[in-house]
Amino acid sequence: MKSVIITLLLSILLGYGFASMAQGQPQEIKLTEKVKIAFPSTPSKSGNEAAELYILKLSDSTANFIAAVTDLQKANGLDAGTLLEASMQPEFWDEAAKGLMAQMGNEAKEISRTMKNINGYDAMQIEIERQNSEGKTNIITALILVEGVKSINIMHTNRGGRADSKITKDFFDSISIE
């Protein structure tokens, strides 16, 4: 009898553990020496010395989370001083928005664009609306910032309006710059 109870308790504990893993635990990722973000669970990572890409697609297909870090010195030969000076100009952010919209395709529509300040760093947040292959509307929220010679693009896709708003808020609120 004692072994049955122990087996039952172990089964419950193991089942809970597997359920917790399936939901995922927040995973903090250090994007640069100064910038960190917490994904809802462990993202996949790819890239090379000039660019790194972190992607998490939720298993229930409600949302995608992306962080892309590009070393603009390695990719384009730009130095930190030039980038800092450029990022102080509205034209810099206009060009960044145009570049992002071009990547989204002709059917994408900019909903809003706002400038933010995160621990002394300027950042631009853009919301984009785009139809998916099922005819439903995806809302993409992108945050673009520059730290040193790194361009950091943080994105969330609300697939068909089904994403959990708390997970989305936690993702963007977790951005920290030292």
What would the pLDDT profile of 108-127 be if each residue is shown by its tens digit? 999 999 999 999 999 999 99
Q: What is the mean pLDDT of residues 31-40?
A: 96
List, in sequence order, every residue forming a beta bridge with 146; answer none if it has no partner: 151
Q: Per CATH, is 25-177 categorized as 3.40.50.300?
A: no
Residues 6+ apart with CB under 8 A from 114: 124, 125
| Phi, psi (degrees; rounded to nearest 5) at 4 | -65, -45
Residues 6+ apart with CB under 8 A from 6: none
Give the pLDDT band of residue 134 (cuts 50, 70, 90).
confident
pTM for this predicted structure: 0.82
What single-letter amino acid sits at 51? A
Give the Cα separation of 6 and 3 in Å (integer): 5
Instruction: Provide the residue ranges of all domains of the chain, joining segments of one domain with +.
Output: 25-177
Query: What's the burial of 97, exposed, middle or buried (CB within 10 Å: 0-12/13-18/19+)?
Result: middle
The reported pLDDT for the residue numbered 22 is 35
What would the pLDDT profile of 12-28 be if each residue is shown by its tens digit? 333 333 333 334 789 99
What single-letter amino acid sits at 108? A
